[in-house]
Chains A and B, each alone.
Chain A
Amino acid sequence: GNSVTQMEGPVTLSEEAFLTINCTYTATGYPSLFWYVQYPGEGLQLLLKATKADDKGSNKGFEATYRKETTSFHLEKGSVQVSDSAVYFCALHTGGFKTIFGAGTRLFVKA
């Protein structure tokens, strides 16, 4: 079946460090891929998305490229800030009603 696997956290970085959070997926067909972010005490919100192979989603300095050959959608940011501290969820959608979410990766950024 369809599934999403993302790296376990927590990830702890110093401010201005480079961030990578790995995400790989298993899916039939051609899924759309998403990264959602959850700030403390809030619900999830969409961070970025990509709908086909080789697409790059980007938002707020975050980027992720849809790699069909490696079934991956890794999240990157060149210079993290304290305000980026949150939980990040990778997700996929293959059609129909449901989105499959990964387990989430908690990021702590120290000043």
Chain B
Amino acid sequence: DAGITQSPRHKVTETGTPVTLRCHQTENHRYMYWYRQDPGHGLRLIHYSYGVKDTDKGEVSDGYSVSRSKTEDFLLTLESATSSQTSVYFCAISESGGVAKNIQYFGAGTRLSVL
């Protein structure tokens, strides 16, 4: 199994509070991603990183920010949580280096409930 740890695994928070989710990898892969998974929508990309301090927006980035200060850690912050951000969040990593190598490896997910 790829060494990807997401923390926390479960979190319940109140509307308006900031929340930070952490993804930690031990694979030294360059690329890291945050997705959210909602019924009927599959996986939607929030933000991704292609190196330390290099990040970019995905398709559903509003209300989220990210930071990557070290290769192994990718943080997702909900600046002021809303009920629409209740979801399961997945971190993924990939080695890339060409089309054939872009397999993504996923963490176990964080279930977030915003009340």
Chief secondary structure at chain B's binding surface: strand
Instruction: Mark A38-56 against chain B: 1 for CB-CB distance below 8 A, else 0.
Output: 0001111110010100000
What is the size category of the interface that chain A forms with chain B? 20 to 34
A32:B41 contact, CB within 8 angstroms: no
Cα distance, A31 to B99, chains bound together (Å): 8
Quick one: given A45-B106, A46-B103, are A102 and B96 in contact (CB under 8 Å)?
no
**Contact of A103 with B by CB under 8 A:** yes
A44:B104 contact, CB within 8 angstroms: yes
Partner of B42, one of A42, A89, A93, A98: A89
**Contact of A34 with B by CB under 8 A:** yes
A contacts, CB < 8 Å to B: 30-32, 34, 36, 41-46, 49, 51, 89, 93-95, 97-99, 101-104
B contacts, CB < 8 Å to A: 4, 31, 40-43, 45, 48, 50, 56, 58, 90, 92, 94, 96, 99-100, 102-109
Q: A43-B4, A44-B104 are in contact. List 7 more A-B contacts (CB 8 A).
A: A36-B104, A42-B108, A43-B106, A97-B50, A97-B96, A103-B41, A103-B42
